[in-house]
Chain A
């Protein structure tokens, strides 16, 4: 059996490592130049995929039993009436808020664009989404992305001609200034992926499960809901785990405010 001399073997390793590094650097450069082209060309396929999945879900529901449908119907009716009440409760507050904003000369901008979500977690491992509006629809970098119901989700981080990438506030390591509604305490939400956040709060700050965390801007929109509070008696801080008010894995439509 023939063995390669040690020096020759090392030389071959270095050559291969060099090739891999060159592939990495060139790949990063090329992809940074053509990623908009790739996303634009794949977007129609993502749209088709969304349509197919929706059709399949509808078709699948044929096989649901009558009892299950009846239960679902009752549950949905209850949910609708509960939501109607919530809307009524909120609308008064919203009118007050609008009056206040008008008095302060800070009216909300009406130029909101509705958009379809093309890719969402878990397709993306980074808690980012791709939406089907871009700079041709007057979307700008840093535009706010929210749910049709109001809660804020994230900011536009890259704008392409007909699509944009949105970095969700829950992206790992992403820090967002917010206000804890109970006691109006300013907090920093740290994204931990999967629509979750972590907050470190001093022990003496009152907080309970279900408390709302609002955006730090003048509109004070919902950003997260407190899910769990971990208190250790030896620690001067308590760890709060919060979650996005919506299931980010099933996002379909979002509003973008340029």
Chain B
């Protein structure tokens, strides 16, 4: 739990102060590393709302980091489950 909190905090700080080529890989590593990392969606949405241009429409929604994080988590759900079952 502490590792998860610490990871989220690092991603949050990097979103605020570091270049995107640092925080985007961190975020997706977090999504892969931590089980059911729903906080990743909120962190990805934070990227969209802080750094995005502020105009939200259907086309932007589907290309946003928030949406990508949601899809990644949904895809990872069964994969993680299978990895654990047969581990």
Contacts and interface: CB of A to CB of B under 8 A. Distances in A.
| Chains A and B belong together in one complex | yes
Nearest to B38: A23
B11 interface: no
B59 to A, nearest CB: 8
Contact of A126 (B42, B46, B52, B78): B52
A166 B19 CA distance: 18
A32 B47 contact: no
A123 B19 contact: yes
Interface in A41-89: 42, 45-46, 49
A35 B50 CA distance: 7
B36 to A, nearest CB: 7
B58 interface: no
A49 B17 contact: yes
Contacts of B16: 42, 45-46
A117 to B, nearest CB: 13
Given A19-B38, A123-B18, A38 B45 contact: no
A182 interface: no
B87 to A, nearest CB: 11
A124 B20 contact: yes
Nearest to A160: B54
B50 A23 contact: no
B53 A27 contact: no
Interface in B44-84: 45-56, 65-67, 70, 73-74, 77-78, 81
A23 B41 contact: yes
Contacts of B70: 20-21, 24
B41 A122 contact: no
A167 interface: yes
Given A13-B77, A24-B41, A123-B19, A32 B36 contact: no
Interface residues on A, range: 35 or more
A165 B85 contact: no
Contact of B55 (A9, A119, A157): A157
Interface string B18-54: 1111001000000000001010011001111111111
Nearest to B74: A17
Interface string A114-157: 00000101111110101000000000000000000000000001
A190 to B, nearest CB: 15
Contact of A39 (B50, B53, B55, B65): B50
Contacts of A123: 17-20, 51
Contact of A38 (B24, B50, B77, B85): B50
A167 B18 CA distance: 20
A128 B53 contact: yes
Interface of B: 16-21, 24, 36, 38, 41-42, 45-56, 65-67, 70, 73-74, 77-78, 81, 85
14 contacts: A16-B36, A24-B70, A27-B42, A31-B45, A45-B16, A46-B17, A119-B51, A121-B20, A122-B19, A122-B20, A126-B52, A128-B52, A157-B55, A165-B53
Given A31-B46, A123-B51, A128-B54, 17 more contacts: A3-B85, A20-B41, A20-B70, A23-B38, A24-B41, A24-B66, A28-B45, A35-B50, A39-B50, A45-B17, A46-B16, A122-B19, A122-B21, A128-B51, A128-B53, A165-B52, A167-B53
